[in-house]
């Protein structure tokens, strides 16, 4: 069966992208420049990502604020209009349905962008928990999403952008601010958000206008060293910035508290799905925590590798699991994330990871692996 294609499929082929299947979508894993160069372009100049496979929906109506307040762990309902909020959707048992970003346009109108692989599940979940006076419109198929990321991203988008507030309004948007804009003549919801650890924008536009937007950004950014970037760079960039990936680091069985996302859980904002379970979890103490680690040995720990304690009896030596890992590109060594018992996760502690039959020492690292200057 042929994979799903984004509106930019032909543009990727024209650039010579290497396409792979990603959750049923045909998406570029890399372009001829290769993942390392694409990654560095985002750290040093500007990169473009086609993330049109992600799901999008509107929640509208007089009950919209009450509905999003109940669905989300963060204070989405209390946000100011024009602000985007990262949040989790939790099950009543505290497990994570998805992590996503809500964009509050007003008390009666919210946009939401969810992970591609979870779109059907999330929209069904939201529909199931819609309050009175709130309607959900799935616009995933009609919406394209282009991320423009890197130190030159904001100036590039601003140069092509217009808002009702006039020229320069996009560059003036704060982090997690968003505005209705036209970029290269294409109507967009322009948000100062991203998944790379760099400054930049994510631009949601009509699917049929996406090729025009993409081409204009490539052309206008040529002098900035703009680089189209595939899924390979997207993953290495997000890992260095310690941004979790659903399906790897988060799933229905992990809780936001275990994942180190307690900052996006507002237990005192009023009731929401999962709140009671998370309060209980907090009171009882966590069984495991998502620890960052660095390996200075010549090895890379990858998804699924076991964290072991060889001092324990046979059969009980596995104490955790690596959920993400890869070589550091803008940081030394190789890096990753692993669920381990909290007692093993102190900063500077040594973890032992079974890398394909070889025990490799890793050092626990707190905070982001890469922080932009």
Partner 1 sequence: MSYPTDLRYTNDHEWLRVGATCVVGITQFAVDQLGDITLVDLPAEGHLVTKGQRFGTIESVKSVSDLYAPVSGKIAKVNALLRDQPELVNQDCYGQAWMIEIEPSDQAEVDELLSPDAYAALTAEA
- Stretch of 170-178, 231-239, 268-276, 335-343 lying at the interface with partner 1 (CB under 8 A): 231-239
Task: Please name every residue paired with 321 in a beta bridge, in sequence order, or none if there are none.
Answer: 306, 339
Dig out the tokens for 61 from the structure: 């109506």
Here the contacts of 214-220 (C-beta below 8 Å, separation 24 or greater) are 214/8, 214/11, 214/48, 214/50, 214/146, 215/11, 216/160, 216/183, 216/184, 216/185, 216/186, 217/48, 217/146, 217/148, 217/156, 217/157, 217/160, 217/183, 217/184, 218/48, 220/156, 220/159, 220/160, 220/184
DSSP result, 287-313? S-EEEEEEE-SS----TTPEEE-TTSP
- Integer CA distances (angstroms), 12 to 199, 204, 232, in order: 24, 18, 14
Query: Site map for partner 1, 303-342, x if CB under 8 A?
Result: -----------------------xx-x-------------
Following CA atoms 6, 7, 11, 13 in sequence, which dihedral angle do they give, to the nearest 10 degrees? 40
DSSP 45: S
Considering the rule CB under 8 A, would residue 232 count as an interface residue with partner 1? yes
Is 91 or 302 the residue whose CB approaches partner 1 more closely?
302
CB of 35 to partner 1, least distance (A): 5
- Stretch of 35-43, 142-150, 241-249, 252-260 lying at the interface with partner 1 (CB under 8 A): 35-43
The burial class, CB within 10 Å (0-12 / 13-18 / 19+), for 300 is: buried
Is 277 or 331 the residue whose CB approaches partner 1 more closely?
331
- Stretch of 31-39, 107-115, 117-125, 361-369 lying at the interface with partner 1 (CB under 8 A): 31-39
Considering the rule CB under 8 A, would residue 30 count as an interface residue with partner 1? yes
Q: Which of 137, 86, 88, 89 is nearest to 109 (CA)?
A: 137
Considering the rule CB under 8 A, would residue 279 count as an interface residue with partner 1? no
Is the CB of residue 364 less than 8 Å from the CB of residue 293?
A: yes
Site size for partner 1, by CB under 8 A?
Answer: 17
Is 227 or 300 the residue whose CB approaches partner 1 more closely?
300
- Stretch of 119-127, 181-189, 256-264, 297-305 lying at the interface with partner 1 (CB under 8 A): 297-305
Is 205 or 237 the residue whose CB approaches partner 1 more closely?
237
Is the CB of residue 199 less than 8 Å from the CB of residue 154?
A: yes
CB of 228 to partner 1, least distance (A): 15
Is 186 or 329 the residue whose CB approaches partner 1 more closely?
329
Is 20 or 215 the residue whose CB approaches partner 1 more closely?
20
CB of 361 to partner 1, least distance (A): 17
DSSP result, 82-102? TEEEEEEEE-TTS-EEEEEEE
Q: Using CB under 8 A, which residues numbered 236 to 275 contact partner 1? A: 236
CB of 293 to partner 1, least distance (A): 17
- Stretch of 28-36, 175-183, 194-202, 213-221 lying at the interface with partner 1 (CB under 8 A): 28-36
Residue selected from 3, 4, 15, 29 as contacting partner 1 according to rule CB under 8 A: 29
Positions in the binding site for partner 1 (CB under 8 A): 18, 29-30, 34-36, 39, 232, 235-236, 298, 300, 302, 326-327, 329, 356
């Amino acid at each position: 069966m042929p994979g799903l294609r984004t509106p930019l499929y032909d543009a990727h082929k024209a650039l010579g992208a290497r396409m792979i299947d990603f959750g049923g979508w045909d998406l570029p894993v890399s372009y001829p420049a290769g993942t390392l160069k694409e990654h560095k372009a985002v750290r040093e100049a500007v990169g473009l990502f086609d993330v049109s496979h992600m799901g999008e929906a509107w929640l509208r109506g007089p009950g919209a604020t009450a509905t999003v307040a109940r669905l989300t762990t963060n204070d989405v309902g209390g946000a100011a209009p024009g602000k985007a909020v990262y949040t989790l959707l939790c099950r009543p048992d505290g497990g994570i349905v998805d992590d996503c970003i809500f964009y509050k346009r007003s008390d009666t109108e919210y946009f939401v962008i969810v992970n591609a692989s979870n779109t059907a599940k999330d929209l069904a979940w939201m529909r199931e928990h819609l309050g009175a006076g709130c309607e959900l419109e799935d616009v995933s198929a009609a919406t394209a999403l282009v991320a423009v990321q890197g130190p030159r991203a904001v100036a590039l988008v601003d140069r092509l952008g217009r808002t009702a507030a006039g020229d320069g309004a996009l560059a003036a948007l704060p982090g997690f601010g968003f505005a209705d804009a036209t970029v290269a003549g294409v109507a967009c919801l322009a948000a100062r958000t991203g998944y790379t650890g760099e400054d930049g924008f994510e631009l949601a536009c009509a699917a049929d206008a996406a090729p025009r937007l993409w081409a204009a950004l490539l052309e206008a950014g040529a002098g900035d060293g703009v680089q189209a970037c595939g899924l390979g760079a997207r993953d290495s960039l997000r890992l260095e910035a310690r941004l979790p990936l659903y399906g790897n680091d988060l799933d229905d069985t992990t809780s936001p508290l275990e994942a180190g996302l307690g900052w996006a859980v507002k237990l005192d904002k009023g009731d929401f799905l999962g709140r009671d379970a998370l309060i209980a979890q907090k009171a009882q103490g966590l069984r495991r925590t998502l620890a960052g680690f660095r390996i200075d040995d010549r090895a890379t720990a990858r998804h699924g590798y076991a964290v072991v304690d060889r001092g324990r009896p046979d059969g009980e030596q596995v104490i955790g699991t690596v959920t993400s890992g890869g070589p550091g590109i803008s940081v030394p060594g190789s890096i990753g994330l692993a669920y381990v018992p909290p007692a093993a996760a102190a900063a500077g502690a040594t973890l032992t990871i079974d890398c394909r039959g070889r025990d490799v020492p890793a050092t626990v690292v707190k905070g982001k692996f890469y922080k932009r200057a």
